[in-house]
Structure 1
Amino acid sequence: MTGIDNQTARTAVVTGASSGIGEATARALAAAGFQVVLGARRLEPCERIAAEIGGTALFLDITSDESVTRFADSLDSVAVLVNNAGGARGMAAVGDGEVEDWRWMWETNVLGTLRVTKALIPKLLADGDGMVITVTSTAALEVYPGGAGYTSAKHAERALHRMLEAELADTQLRFTEISPGIVHSDFSTNRFHGDAERAAAVYAGMTPLTAEDVADVIAFAATGPRNVSIEHVVIRPRAQADSVTVFRED
């Protein structure tokens, strides 16, 4: 077994770490002194990032039980888990919903979070001060036109995270949920199946959050006092009041 073992720095695991919020979080946690393990299906960009921050890149497909098990078995210890992997596909109404799009969103956002968290809970408990940070979305708090499948998955992911917090309330584990609004990343490009023009329209006339904005909040939560539990943070760009109310300049 080629385990991750660092005697001077605690280990933080970041899923979906190949780009966007995951990449920014890996960099922020490394700067905060963690030994960061970057997990994603796209291993090459993770390896590049890991080389730059002194971390470790491991292949991780959160939709595969076998992949998650191999990933977890390769880690000697885990202090912080950042459940970041996930995403959206399409904007169809419920009546027009593509079952495969819904299946993918539930498989990644909900079951993927379940697989990884379940696999790493023993190591997080063994740390004695472990922490689970789950990046949901403001879509976990609201519903909006065009968000049927995604909001359903994110609501479920939030319920999973909160249920774990209740079930493990008698342990030393801390739980933080981060719910970002509009963030400039490859999220929209992926949602629209690579349609860059349509994705760009999401950010038109306003200044969205950056991945670094969200990563700063994650790092703040991860480095706080052990007796402080930052349960939930909602972070939106100033121009966004809710999922449907966004001020856009002409």
Structure 2
Amino acid sequence: MSRLAVVTGASSGIGAETARQLASAGYEVVCAARRADRIEELAAQIGGRAVACDVSKAEDIARLADEVGDRLDVLVNNAGGALGLAPVAETDVADWRSMYESNVIGTLQATQALLPALIASGAGTIVNVGSIAGRGAYEGGSGYIAAKHAVAALTETLRLELVDQPVRIEEIAPGMVRTEEFSLTRFGGDQTRADAVYAGVAEPLVAQDIAEAIVWMVQRPAHVNIDLMVIKPRAQAAAHRVHRES
């Protein structure tokens, strides 16, 4: 029986690369994201399946669960993202709501819907894609920081609650990862501001680095749980401390 994986937020960046890497490792991958055209193209490339899915919408999650069926080996909760970099006093409440819905409620709903299939596999794995923003704070990141702290808390609570079940609960917390869309989305399509995030950083992480780490995590023996992997480029000591070459 082939192993089955679901990756949310699979239309670009870390999600798309994780889907590719899991397929290369022998998984059939269900690619879930809002942009149907992108995931259909990706699924065709890797021999997987595409499900148009907004993880914040219960009806979309139900459709994803129907597509998966009764057995699932791996769930990568990757959908999410950051919006804005305003201080708390000026931050847009709508941005907070959107980030909480995608990062937290989406992770919750996908986990609830697919948990029975993960348990039924006898050795399921959930990998929640967090962030170093969920392990500390930095100026301007309040909404994203709050959302990723919530993802970390959800992950740790779920691990306690499912300790008697055959499911591993894992989190990967990346630092600076240069993808085509993360910072561009954060700054509302402002390419100049997006590029400035990585200015002078010789080697930020890329999506492949995170995807390779996720695949390593899920391929450990079933009794090995990688509770948390924090992964940053060498040039980044903390969210707010990055070496930039002049």
Q: TM-score, normalised by structure 2?
A: 0.97
Distance 1:62 1:111 in 2: 8
Distance 1:173 1:74 in 2: 20
Partner of 1:17: 10
Q: TM-score, normalised by structure 1?
A: 0.96
Pair 1:201 & 2:200 matched: no
1:92 positional shift:
1.3
Partner of 1:190: 185
Partner of 2:120: 126
Distance 2:224 2:155 in 1: 18
Gaps of 5+ in 1: 1-7
Q: Secondary structure at the match of 1:174?
A: strand
The correspondence for 1:223, drawn from 213, 219, 223, is 219
Partner of 1:172: 166
Query: Which aligned pairs between 1:64-79 and structure 2 lie closer than 5 A?
Result: 64-76=57-69, 77-79=71-73
Q: Secondary structure at the match of 2:111?
A: helix
Instruction: Using the TM superposition, name which of 71-80 and 217-226 deviates more.
Output: 71-80
- CA offset digits 1:34-58 (Å, max 9, x no partner): 0100000001111111111111111
- CA offset digits 1:193-223 (Å, max 9, x no partner): 0001100011111121000000000000111
Distance 2:3 2:83 in 1: 35
Question: Counterpart of 1:148 in structure 2: which amino acid?
Answer: S
- CA offset digits 1:136-194 (Å, max 9, x no partner): 00000010001011101100111011111110011111011000000011110000000
Partner of 1:49: 42
Question: Counterpart of 1:12 in structure 2: which amino acid?
Answer: A
The correspondence for 1:109, drawn from 93, 103, 109, is 103
Distance 2:178 2:129 in 1: 15
Distance 1:200 1:139 in 2: 20
Report % sequence identity. 51
Pair 1:144 & 2:163 matched: no
Any runs of at least 4 consecutive aligned residues in structure 1 with deviations exceeding 4 A, and if so which? Answer: none
Instruction: Using the TM superposition, name which of 136-145 and 221-230 deviates more.
Output: 221-230
Distance 1:91 1:36 in 2: 34
Contact 1:22–1:84 (Cα < 8 Å) also in 2: yes
The correspondence for 2:90, drawn from 61, 72, 96, is 96
1:75 positional shift:
1.3
Contact 1:32–1:223 (Cα < 8 Å) also in 2: no
Distance 1:45 1:70 in 2: 18
RMSD over aligned CA atoms reads: 0.7
Partner of 1:34: 27
Contact 1:10–1:79 (Cα < 8 Å) also in 2: yes
- CA offset digits 1:76-107 (Å, max 9, x no partner): 22110000000011011111121100000101
1:224 positional shift:
1.1
Question: Counterpart of 1:136 in structure 2: which amino acid?
Answer: G
Question: Counterpart of 1:194 in structure 2: which amino acid?
Answer: G
Q: Secondary structure at the match of 2:237?
A: coil
